[in-house]
């Protein structure tokens, strides 16, 4: 079992930055591909970014160039650096762990999920 706890969310103005953290416990995340998803009110959960075991990453087109996923296996933590935030980025952000070897773009590829952290971007 892997327990994931997100932190770092909050209220920020348009153009601002936040860094989300996802702290894992129970097992080392080095054996997992990791991902970030988000869910806005009344909408389906959507893919934000994924990072494989080797540190390679891929991001959704909607956040490419603004958001960066990274991992620190020594700290058992995954991060999402978010710059240039827009009101459309407002959502609950979730961290997740996948057993697949490479990038995981779909929610059903992930076996462990955190509880989420709220990000609100004001205009």
Q: Which residue in this structure is represented by tokens 């348009």?
A: 14
The H or E element containing residue 118 is strand 117-122
Q: Report the mean per-residue pLDDT for the chain.
A: 96
Q: How far apart are CA 47 and CA 89, in angstroms?
A: 12
Query: pLDDT tens across 38-88, in order?
Result: 999 999 999 999 999 999 999 999 999 999 999 999 999 999 999 999 999
pLDDT at 34 over 90: yes
| Residue 25 reports pLDDT greater than 80 | yes
Higher pLDDT, 31 or 16: 16
Q: How confident is the model at residue 101 (pLDDT cuts 50, 70, 90)?
A: confident
């Amino acid at each position: 079992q892997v327990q994931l706890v997100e932190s770092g969310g909050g209220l920020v103005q348009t153009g601002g930055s936040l860094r989300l953290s996802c702290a894992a416990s129970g097992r080392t995340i080095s054996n997992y591909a990791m991902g970030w998803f988000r869910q806005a009110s009344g909408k389906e959960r959507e893919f934000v970014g994924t990072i494989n075991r080797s540190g390679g990453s891929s991001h959704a087109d909607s956040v490419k160039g603004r958001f960066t996923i990274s991992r620190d296996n020594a700290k058992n933590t995954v991060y999402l650096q978010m710059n240039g935030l827009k009101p459309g980025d407002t959502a609950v952000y979730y961290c997740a762990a996948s057993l697949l070897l490479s990038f995981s773009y779909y929610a059903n590829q992930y076996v462990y999920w955190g509880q989420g952290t709220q990000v609100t971007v004001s205009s």
